[in-house]
Amino acid sequence: MRIPLSMPDVSESDIEAVTRVLKTPRLSLGSELTNFEQSIARFVGSSHCVAVNSGTSGLHLCFRSLRISTGDEVIVPSFTFIATANAVRYVGATPVFVDIEPEGLGLDPSKIEMAITSRTKAIVVMHTFGRPANLSAILQVARRHHLFVIEDACEALGAEYEGKRVGPLGDVGVFAFYPNKQITTGEGGAVVTQSSEIACTSRALRNQGRNGSGDWFDHIELGYNYRLSEINSALGNAQLKRIESVLAKRQEIAHLYCERLNARTDLELPSTSVPNCRISWFVYTVRLGPQFQITHRDWIRNEMIARGIDCGRYFAPVHLQPVYGYETCIRHDLSVTEATAGRCLTLPFFNTISENQIDEVCEVLIELLHQLRPSRPE
């Protein structure tokens, strides 16, 4: 693609940091990992951080550490990346899909209570596209029913809710550092929590269930190889040093898109500010007006791709995926999810995108909207 959907921002200092590690004899479970965990914990205001090899692994460890298992139910959004729900199924629990708010696209607190049963153990809060969810209302529901709250902050490193960074505001949270995220470790993720017990269990599970005694052959849990290497950690340490400038740059890019598309009455743009919150921009996703259908969105996307401009369809609802039949999950009313998802179009968004590229993306999108007629792509 001439203009990709995303692109990692790797500097010379990042490369040098990785090269330094490669010149040492320690490539796993060393000081780079420890420093990365401590830096993430400081940045988000968490007592503990356990770095892992992906955000998906981190989510899995959350459920294992909370002892959620077969027969339990976990409330999740369907408007999310599939790993959010998959991790629930990894431990044998049942995902319970609840609808989202029309504007912020996070779980709708008013819809959660009706989905709670005697089997419900937790609520997964997704900070969708880096915008903080309505945490206060969700935490109130969780406390009333004695439920765990897991923050899926995989898209939201640096986002703030009422003056505090998201991630450790529930019982446990997860970040991801895939190459399309705000910072990258290549592949990687992190579990953050204020609970020493959750952190200790997650740390053991990450490393084949070892008990931390120092003996490589002592295992207290059925664990996994979810370790993050020194190489990945070194890249993360270097990237995290410029996180504030990255967040500011991504906010600037979002504002540039908004300036160029704000006059369109056939598009719904994401809010560039939310009261008492800071958005950590992961992607820039517009919604075609309600007069359009999924076929119109897909026609525009295909036309843009044909011109060398990559676009995404964030998100395809999880409950409509072939792997999620009725026997695998519980579905409540998901009308907002379904009406929203089919109109979402994610535009190219990365740290180094130029104004000229943003101009081209917007000009082509506007041109295609002018061409589009409701019957055209049928």
In a shared domain, residues 231 and 258? no
In a shared domain, residues 96 and 187? yes
CB 101 within 8 A of CB 131: no
Using DSSP's 3-state secondary structure scheme, residue 330 falls into strand
pLDDT of residue 374: 54
The number of domains in the chain is: 2
pLDDT of residue 378: 47
Whether 1 is in a domain gets the answer no
Interval 66-77: pLDDT, tens: 999 999 999 999
pLDDT of residue 215: 82
In a shared domain, residues 304 and 343? yes
Q: Which residues of the chain have pLDDT under 50?
A: 376-378
Whether 77 is in a domain gets the answer yes
Measured CA to CA, the distance from residue 114 to residue 56 in angstroms comes to 28
DSSP string, 197-265: HHHHHHHHHHBTTB-SSS-TT-B-S---B-PPBHHHHHHHHHHHTTHHHHHHHHHHHHHHHHHHHTT-T
In a shared domain, residues 183 and 310? no
Whether 378 is in a domain gets the answer no
pLDDT of residue 212: 75
Domain that includes residue 332, residue range = 243-371
| Best CA proximity match to 361, nearest among 258, 220, 217, 242 | 258
Structural domain ending residue among the three candidates 186, 221, 240: 240
Whether 96 is in a domain gets the answer yes
Is 0.85 surpassed by the pTM of this model?
yes
Q: What is the CATH number of the domain that holds 202?
A: 3.40.640.10
Q: Is residue 92 left, alpha or beta, with left meaning phi > 0 and alpha meaning psi from -120 to 50? A: left
In a shared domain, residues 355 and 317? yes
Q: What is the CATH number of the domain that holds 307?
A: 3.90.1150.10
pLDDT of residue 257: 98
In a shared domain, residues 206 and 269? no
Measured CA to CA, the distance from residue 230 to residue 377 in angstroms comes to 49
pLDDT of residue 338: 97
pLDDT of residue 373: 66
The helix-helix angle for 243-261 and 230-240 (nearest 10°) equals 60
